[in-house]
């Protein structure tokens, strides 16, 4: 057996699985989004019609789609910078030579990342309960009136953002910590000899050296946060007043509750296109700063 043929034998199982169960469905989703596949067409395929861009057109005229998109963008635009800031602060603290028991702190801060979203979201629901939740209890000690975290449309999304930050900051923290450790110590030494303060060292050595890592981590976080689903499903069930319905939540309802497969596929594709545009723009910026 020559190595060329052997290579294909090694590749075949994985490539077949990925093609049949991922690539083909993705292409099919593109096709389905141009049809009116729904419950009637599922029952009798003769009811299926090609509707070109009607699904997309209808979505752009649907207030709930724009609301879902706005909620998702809100989650990304507020959640990603907040997550990154917390991750960076934690990484900077851990990187300090003054820290004792560093492995303990690193493990403890990372632990939320490996926990199950659904389980911790259930915990979150009780912690942020208006009456019995410990969060309002703690705020009460500080003299702050109880907040209706999950019942007030203005507070429900911030509660979910807090959850996402708590759950995810450890991931980027570990990557940023590795980035900090890779900065050559001579750079700091040179800065110190020039009399730079700690803040100026951070500004002129740490930040520029860490920028590529920050951007890469940012891109991954943005594309992860666009896929918001389980958190609102468990914590708020999309409410109150649909204030936490995300794009994927809408896709799930449209597709698997109402069986409007054509329209749901169009939602999925629009999300993909939006994510693609945003991450490509961020990648551009990365390339420009690299050059």
Q: Looking only at residues 55 through 114 of this chain, which bind other proteins when binding is defined by CB under 8 A?
A: 90, 93-94, 96, 98-100, 105, 107-112, 114
What is residue 50's three-state secondary structure? strand
The yes or no reply on residue 7 touching other proteins (CB under 8 A) is: yes
Residue 241 binds other proteins, judged by CB under 8 A: no
In angstroms, what is the C-alpha Rg of the chain?
Answer: 24
Interface positions, 109-138, toward other proteins (CB under 8 A): 109-112, 114-120, 122-127, 131-134, 137
Asked if 199 interacts with other proteins (CB under 8 A), we say no
Contacts of 235 (CB under 8 A, 6+ apart): 121, 124, 125, 150, 156, 159, 160, 163, 244
Residue 272 contacts other proteins per CB under 8 A: yes
Size of the site for other proteins (CB under 8 A): 87
Residues 41-60 touching other proteins, rule: CB under 8 A, are none
Say whether residue 23 binds other proteins (CB under 8 A). Answer: yes
Q: Which residues of 111-121 are buried (b: 16+ CB within 10 A; e: fewer)?
A: ebeeeebeebb
Phi, psi angles (nearest 5°) of residue 242: 60, 25
Q: Any contact of residue 39 with other proteins (CB under 8 A)?
A: no
CB of 56 to other proteins, least distance (A): 15
145: which DSSP letter? P
**Torsion sign across C-alpha atoms 230, 254, 41, 61:** negative
Q: Does 160 bind other proteins (CB under 8 A)?
A: no
């Amino acid at each position: 057996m020559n190595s060329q043929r052997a290579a294909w034998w090694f590749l075949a199982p994985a490539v077949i699985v990925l093609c049949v169960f991922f690539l083909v469905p993705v292409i099919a989703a593109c096709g389905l989004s141009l049809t009116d596949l729904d419950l009637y067409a599922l029952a009798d395929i003769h009811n299926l019609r090609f509707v070109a861009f009607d699904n997309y057109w209808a979505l752009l005229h649907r207030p709930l789609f724009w609301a879902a998109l706005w909620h998702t963008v809100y989650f990304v635009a507020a959640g990603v910078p907040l997550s990154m800031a917390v991750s960076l602060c934690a990484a900077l603290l851990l990187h300090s030579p003054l820290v004792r028991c560093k492995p303990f702190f690193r493990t403890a801060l990372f632990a939320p990342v490996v926990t199950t979203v659904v389980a911790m979201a259930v915990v979150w629901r009780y912690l942020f309960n208006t009456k019995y939740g410990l969060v309002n209890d703690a705020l009460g000690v500080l003299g702050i009136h109880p907040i209706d975290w999950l019942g007030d449309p203005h507070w429900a999304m911030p509660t979910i953002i807090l959850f996402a930050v708590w759950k995810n900051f450890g991931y980027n923290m570990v990557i940023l910590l590795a980035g900090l450790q890779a900065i050559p110590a001579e750079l700091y030494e040179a800065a110190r000899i020039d009399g730079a303060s700690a803040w100026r060292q951070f500004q002129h050595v740490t930040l520029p050296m860490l920028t590529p890592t920050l951007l890469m981590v940012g891109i991954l976080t943005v594309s992860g946060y666009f896929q918001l689903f389980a958190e609102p499903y468990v914590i708020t069930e999309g409410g109150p007043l649909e204030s936490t319905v995300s794009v994927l939540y809408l896709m799930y309802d449209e597709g698997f509750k109402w069986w409007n497969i054509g329209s749901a596929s169009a939602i999925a594709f629009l999300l993909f296109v939006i994510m693609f545009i945003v991450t490509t723009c961020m990648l551009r910026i990365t390339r420009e700063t690299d050059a």
